[in-house]
């Protein structure tokens, strides 16, 4: 395509120029239902539903643990809630949420009109719905009361006579369906990013969010099949009376140690893959509001790639019975933190450079806007999570395992940044994708509540970890001395839940009921291609694409328009 031959008459500011679409778009031959914006939105809807469900379960558990000697829930009930809280939050909130955001944003960011396989993404959406149905049905199936083993299904492995009933089979089937859908959706996103990028959008110029999705998709593609396989094997054990994961009973039995090893071999990289898009998102938002490109682009790209690779070297730290390779995996969990820290430092350097260039006062103005406040929240939560992770990596296998330290660390590192990130993504890209701003005032409140709530809820968990409170504790006595931190944790959880509620209401009123103020095509003076598309977005996203000659094509386009005006 010869790009420079376009005459100046054709160049108009993209906001004011509704040009006839060059082709009749059908986005892959499917109906309107295959539009990546709609499919991604539906994914996000499912995810938010299960964020609420998981959150309600968390609140019930917190109510139990707020005071000592609580008898509201039996031990079995508590552990059951604990298991479903984890299962819902990981498999039905975190995974669909990021697939949803990526499905909505990635084609726009790379200047494509669609995903590589639009119908495939719709299929994965419905598979996710089916899986969600199976998992949600589990609590009402016979034998559900005995599913008390945590979301890793390892305390103990649910098989054998003690776990009779079909409930566990529903759970396993549901999760396998969700994971299979996630694998196909990730593959779709990867192909889209590799094959459908706009001309000139080289790998080095790729938007950082799309890059993070590419890396995260590759990790999910390799990690999730391991979980699919072992859950399938556990299903066979349960359904056909096989014994792959139970006792060394001579010729009949399998190997119970295998479960944890294989599970965490898949689940540990998966958790990192769910952090990666948060890093990508923040690396997108910070430069826009700092009004300068990111400090070191090559380092940001490299660091995110490194996280994807190193994520596969720390799984052993989650395995309780792995004496020999302890040191190796401790090193693995530690080393992966370095690129994460590098990305964080990159953000801070970007802000410092912006302050130097334009003065702190002007920078502060940019930082006070909705999406940026979330990102500041993400930075603080991630920093705490990094510190907690480093500490537990160094002390791996000692006393910080299977106690509340683990809960605090995992929530600070994986859960809180992801939740803040999804809210940030809605505020940042919402005006583009849905054509409406989310409420800026509510946004500030949400950011404060979510970030503050996360710190209040999960830092005390670290304290409880130091006091050796076991993960599955369903009740404790006053003599344990755990009450103070538990009370703070409950308050934090409530604050976080309130923040989530405000966010969802905001989303509902501003976007679903369309009460939010209408947004222009480029509300934030964005850097990447999505901001050059018209708002409201046509089905095929772009009528025209600016020539991509740098990592910030939208800025280049504005600059050139400015030159033409003069």
Partner 1 sequence: MSLVPTSGYGVSELPPKAALARPRPPDEVPKGTNLLGVLLLIMADAMVLATLLAAWITIKGGSLSWPPAKVHLTTYLPSVITITAAMSGFSMAWAVSSIRRNDQRSATIALILTSLFGVAIVNAQWYSMVRAGFGIGDHAYGTLYLLLIGYHAVHQVLAVGALILVGSRAIVGHFGREGYDPMRAVAAFWYYSIAAWMLIMAAIFLFSRHA
| Rounded least distance, CB 21 to partner 1, Å | 9
Nearest Cα residue to 103 out of 5, 169, 3, 181: 181
Beta bridge partners of 403: 470
> DSSP string spanning 127-155?
HHHHHHHHHHHGGGSTTGGG--STTTT-T
Q: Which is nearer to partner 1, 20 or 162 (CB)?
A: 20
In the region spanning residues 186 to 205, those forming contacts with partner 1, defined by CB under 8 A, are 187-188, 190-191, 194-196, 198-199
Are 452 and 495 within 8 A, CB to CB?
Answer: yes
Integer CA distances (angstroms), 436 to 69, 81, 111, 522, in order: 49, 37, 21, 12
**Closer of 39 and 545 to partner 1 (Cβ):** 545
- Selected from 296, 472, 480, 561, the binder of partner 1 by CB under 8 A is 561
Question: What does DSSP assign to residue 317?
Answer: G
State in angstroms the smallest separation of the CB of 26 from partner 1: 6
- Minimum CB distance to partner 1 smaller for 273 or for 393: 273
Under the binding rule (CB under 8 A), the answer on residue 461 touching partner 1 is no
Site residues (CB under 8 A) for partner 1, limited to 510-539: 522, 525
Give the pair of three-digit tokens for residue 81: 């809630």
- Segment lying near partner 1 (by CB under 8 A), choices 71-79, 303-311, 480-488, 555-563: 555-563
| 367, two tokens | 């930082």
Cα distance between residue 336 and residue 215, in whole Å:
14
One residue of 45, 68, 253, 305 binding partner 1 per CB under 8 A: 253
CB of 401 to partner 1, least distance (A): 23
Of the pair 419, 541, the CB lying nearest partner 1 is at: 541
Piece of 77-85, 129-137, 255-263, 448-456 that binds partner 1 (CB under 8 A): 255-263
Within 10 A of 184 (CB to CB), how many other CB atoms are there? 17
Cis peptide before 431 (omega within 30 of 0): no
Nearer to partner 1, 157 or 459 (CB): 157
Stretch that binds partner 1, among 226-234, 339-347, 435-443, 467-475 (CB under 8 A): 226-234
Among 47, 262, 271, 372, binds partner 1 (CB under 8 A): 262
In the bound state with partner 1, the residue whose beta carbon lies nearer, of 314 and 385, is 314
Spatial distance between the Cα atoms of 213 and 202, rounded to a whole number of angstroms: 16
Q: Contact, 183 vs 220, CB < 8 A? A: yes
Least distance between partner 1 and beta carbon 25 (Å): 4
Inter-residue contact 452 to 388 (CB < 8 Å): no
Q: How far is the CB of 290 from partner 1 (least distance, A)?
A: 9
Binding of residue 233 to partner 1 (CB under 8 A): yes
User: Which of 20, 32, 241, 361 is close enough to bind partner 1 by CB under 8 A?
Assistant: 241
Comparing CB distances to partner 1, the nearer of 267 and 413 is: 267
Give the distance, in angstroms, between the CA of residue 1 and the centroid of all CA atoms in the same chain. Answer: 37
Please provide the size of the chain in residues: 566
For the packed helices 337-358 and 326-335, what is the interaxial angle rounded to 10 degrees? 20
Stretch 128-157: interaction string toward partner 1, x if CB under 8 A: ------------------------------
Q: Which is nearer to partner 1, 84 or 264 (CB)?
A: 264
Residue with tokens 């308050």: 491
419 contacts 457 by C-beta, under 8 angstroms? no
Q: How far is the CB of 113 from partner 1 (least distance, A)?
A: 4
Instruction: Answer yes or no: are the C-beta atoms of 492 and 455 closer than 8 Å.
Output: yes
Query: Can you tell me the distance from the alpha carbon of 207 to that of 219, in angstroms, rounded to the nearest whole number?
Result: 19
Distance CA 446, CA 425 (A): 13
DSSP character at residue 471: T
Q: Is 325 in the site for partner 1 (CB under 8 A)?
A: no
Among 4, 140, 161, 398, which residue interacts with partner 1 (rule: CB under 8 A)?
A: 4
| Residue nearer to partner 1 on the CB measure, 258 or 466 | 258
Which range, of 64-72, 135-143, 179-187, 308-316, touches partner 1 by CB under 8 A? Answer: 179-187
- Applying CB under 8 A, among 177, 226, 334, 502 the residue interacting with partner 1 is 226
Q: Which of residues 284-323 bind partner 1 (CB under 8 A)?
A: 291-293
**C-alpha count within 13 angstroms, C-beta hemisphere, residue 185:** 32
Q: Which is nearer to partner 1, 10 or 69 (CB)?
A: 10
Site for partner 1 in 14-33 (CB under 8 A): 14, 22-23, 25-29
Quick check: 116 binds partner 1 (CB under 8 A)? Answer: yes
User: Quick check: 242 binds partner 1 (CB under 8 A)?
Assistant: yes
Q: CB of 424 within 8 A of CB of 378? A: yes
Which pair of tokens denotes residue 27?
Answer: 């986005």
Nearer to partner 1, 237 or 446 (CB): 237
Residues 344-363, one symbol each (x = binds partner 1 by CB under 8 A, - = not), give: ---------x---xx-----
CA 295 – CA 293 distance, rounded (Å): 6
Pick out residues in 56-115 that bind partner 1 (CB under 8 A): 111-114
CB contact burial 332-359 (16+ within 10 A = b; e otherwise): bbbebbebbebbbebbeebbebbbeeee
Contact mark string toward partner 1, 468..507, x via CB under 8 A: ----------------------------------------
**Burial class (CB within 10 angstroms; exposed 0-12, middle 13-18, buried 19+) of 6:** exposed
Among 236, 331, 383, 501, binds partner 1 (CB under 8 A): 236
Residue 221: which of 173, 262, 182 has the closest Cα? 182
Rounded Cα distance, 428 and 281, in Å: 9
Residue spans of alpha helices (H) in 196-207: none
Number of residues counted as binding partner 1 (CB under 8 A): 89
Q: Which is nearer to partner 1, 139 or 200 (CB)?
A: 200
Q: How far is the CB of 45 from partner 1 (least distance, A)?
A: 25
* By the rule CB under 8 A, 49 interacts with partner 1: no
The binder of partner 1 chosen from 206, 224, 307, 463 (CB under 8 A): 224
């Amino acid at each position: 395509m010869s790009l420079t031959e376009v005459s100046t008459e054709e160049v108009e500011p993209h906001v004011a120029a509704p040009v006839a679409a060059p082709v009749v778009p059908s986005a892959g031959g499917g109906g309107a239902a295959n539009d990546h914006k709609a499919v991604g939105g539906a994914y996000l809807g499912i995810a938010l539903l299960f964020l609420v469900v998981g959150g309600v379960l968390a609140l019930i558990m917190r109510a139990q643990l707020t005071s000592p000697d609580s008898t509201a829930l039996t031990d079995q009930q508590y552990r059951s809630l604990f298991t479903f809280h984890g299962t819902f939050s990981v498999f039905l909130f975190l995974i669909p949420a990021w697939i949803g955001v990526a499905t909505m944003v990635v084609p726009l960011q790379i200047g494509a009109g669609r995903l590589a396989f639009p119908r495939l993404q719709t299929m994965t959406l419905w598979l996710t719905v089916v899986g969600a149905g199976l998992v949600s049905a589990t609590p009402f199936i016979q034998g559900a009361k005995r599913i008390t083993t945590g979301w890793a299904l390892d305390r103990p492995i649910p098989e054998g006579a003690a776990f009779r009933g079909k409930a566990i089979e529903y759970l396993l089937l549901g999760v396998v369906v969700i994971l299979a859908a996630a694998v196909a959706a990730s593959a779709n996103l990867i192909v889209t990013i590799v094959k459908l990028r706009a001309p000139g959008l080289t790998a080095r110029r790729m938007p950082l969010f799309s890059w993070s999705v590419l890396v995260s998709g590759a990790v999910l593609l390799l990690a999730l099949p391991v979980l699919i396989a072992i859950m399938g094997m556990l299903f066979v054990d349960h359904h056909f009376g096989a014994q792959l994961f139970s006792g060394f009973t001579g010729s009949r039995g399998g190997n119970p140690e295998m479960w944890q090893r294989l599970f965490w071999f898949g689940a540990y990289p998966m958790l990192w893959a769910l952090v990666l898009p948060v890093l990508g998102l923040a690396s997108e938002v910070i430069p826009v509001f700092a009004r300068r490109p990111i400090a070191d682009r090559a380092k940001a790209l490299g660091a995110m790639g490194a996280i994807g690779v190193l994520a596969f070297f720390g799984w052993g730290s989650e395995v309780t019975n792995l004496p020999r390779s302890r040191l190796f995996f401790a090193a693995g969990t530690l080393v992966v933190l370095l690129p994460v820290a590098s990305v964080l430092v990159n953000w801070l350097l970007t802000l410092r450079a912006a302050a130097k260039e334009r003065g702190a006062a002007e920078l502060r103005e940019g930082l006070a806007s909705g999406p940026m406040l979330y990102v500041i929240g993400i930075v603080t939560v991630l920093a705490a999570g990094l510190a907690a992770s480093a500490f537990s990596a160094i002390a791996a296998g000692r006393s910080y395992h299977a106690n509340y330290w683990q809960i605090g660390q995992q929530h600070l590192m994986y859960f809180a940044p992801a939740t803040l990130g999804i809210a940030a993504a809605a505020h940042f890209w919402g005006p583009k994708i849905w054509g409406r701003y989310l409420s800026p005032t509510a946004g500030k409140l949400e950011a404060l509540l979510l970030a503050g709530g996360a710190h209040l809820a999960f830092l005390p968990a670290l304290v409880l970890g130091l006091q050796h409170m076991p993960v599955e504790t369903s009740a404790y006595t006053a003599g344990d001395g755990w009450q103070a931190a538990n009370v703070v944790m409950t308050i934090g959880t409530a604050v976080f839940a309130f923040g989530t509620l405000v966010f969802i209401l905001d989303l509902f009123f501003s976007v679903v009921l369309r009460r939010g103020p209408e947004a222009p095509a480029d509300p934030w003076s964005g850097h990447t291609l999505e901001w050059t598309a018209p708002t409201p977005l046509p089905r095929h996203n772009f009528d025209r694409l600016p020539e991509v000659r740098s990592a910030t094509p939208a800025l280049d386009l504005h600059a050139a328009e400015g030159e033409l005006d003069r």
